[in-house]
Amino acid sequence: MRKMPLGCAGSGVHLLWFLCRRRLGADLASRYNRPMASSNPSPPVVVRCKGILFDMDGVLISSLGSVERSWTRWAEMRGIDPAYALSIVHGRRSIETVARLRPDLDAEAENRIIEKLEIDDTEGVKVLPGVLDLLAALPAGSWTVVTSATGALARVRLAAARIPASGPIVTADDVVKGKPDPAPYLAGAALLGLPPAECVVIEDASSGAKAGRTAGCTVIATTFSHSIESLDAANYIVPDLKGVTVTAPPGGECIDLTFTPIAASVKA
């Protein structure tokens, strides 16, 4: 079992590199200097941190049905191909998606429309596997939610999925720039009173993984909504949170997350 300390052991952050075991993979990585991910069986990894920053949709809860129905309806109202709209909505603030899809419209007004559509549709919103056990094992005050949803929408979805309150969270209303900008995760670390290097981000979207990595956090990504290939900004990739366990080392300041990745970044 390999360990990756995050500031708690006094030695700073040490990136764990998973090297390609096959010669062809190693040759390609060297030749093109591209980040690659190993899909070979990996040993369990222990990541030590002081705080955890959870994305909401696709990590803690599934709201795919609501998202797809709401954005499809809005896209049809505004003469946009629903399939294209759905291809870019995940992991971004809705106001930024609206501005990208219809820059000629009032983004704030349109955002209020899509927010209401999503708030009014909670059918099928549910907690994802492993989430409740993981949250129950975490020390109070050691985690928060960092979501691209608005504050009102986040509260509705967390309540619908019966996720226990974690106190203040970071929503789209709290930042000027959303993911993939690092601002949301920098705000999340500040909310916990921790430097980003002592936080772990758990994401499912490529934009969120990039935001967490750029913020200076260690990123664990799940494959709920994105492919392994698109999550290359993450340090580690797992299918979901069922296999992530929590222990608290002596001293009480740190958290050890133990899991077996299905892929890991070789990007510095």
Local confidence band at 30 (pLDDT 50, 70, 90 cut-offs): very low
Catalytic residue, from 27, 55, 173, 256: name it. Answer: 55
Q: Is the dihedral of CA 244, 249, 255, 256 positive or negative?
A: negative
More confident residue, 112 or 251: 112
pLDDT band at 7 (very low <50, low <70, confident <90, very high): low
Q: What is the pTM of this model?
A: 0.82
- Is residue 57 part of the annotated active site? The answer reads yes
Question: Is pLDDT of 8 > 50?
Answer: yes
| Residue burial 142-168, b: 16+ Cβ < 10 Å; e: rest | bbbbbbbbbeebbebbbebbebeebee
**What pLDDT, on the 0 to 100 scale, is given for residue 27?**
35
Residue 38 confidence (pLDDT) above 70: no
Lowest-confidence range among 10-24, 106-120, 248-262? 10-24
Domain with CATH 3.40.50.1000 in the chain: 2-61+125-264
Measured CA to CA, the distance from residue 218 to residue 7 in angstroms comes to 11
Q: What is the pLDDT of residues 156-176, one digit of tens each?
A: 999 999 998 778 999 999 999
DSSP class of residue 49 equals E
95: pLDDT strictly greater than 50:
yes
What is the spatial distance between Cα 9 and Cα 254, in angstroms, rounded to a whole number?
9
Q: Which of 27, 57, 81, 133 is catalytic?
A: 57
pLDDT for the residue numbered 2: 54
Select 2-61+125-264's CATH number: 3.40.640.10, 3.40.50.11540, 3.40.50.1000, 3.30.1950.10. Answer: 3.40.50.1000
Query: Using 50, 70 and 90 to split pLDDT, how confident is the model at 255?
Result: very high
Q: Is 104 a catalytic residue?
A: no
Strands across the sheet containing 263-264: 143-145, 51-54, 199-203, 218-222, 236-238, 263-264
Residue 4 has what pLDDT?
A: 56
Report whether pLDDT(31) > 60.
Answer: no
CA angle, residues 33, 39, 40, in degrees to nearest 5: 110
Contact of 86 with 234, CB cutoff 8 Å: no
d(CA 64, CA 90): 9
The per-residue pLDDT for range 176-189, each reduced to its tens digit, is 999 999 999 999 99
In this structure, are residues 150 and 94 in contact, taking their beta carbons and an 8 Å threshold? yes
In whole angstroms, give the CA distance from residue 125 to residue 185: 24
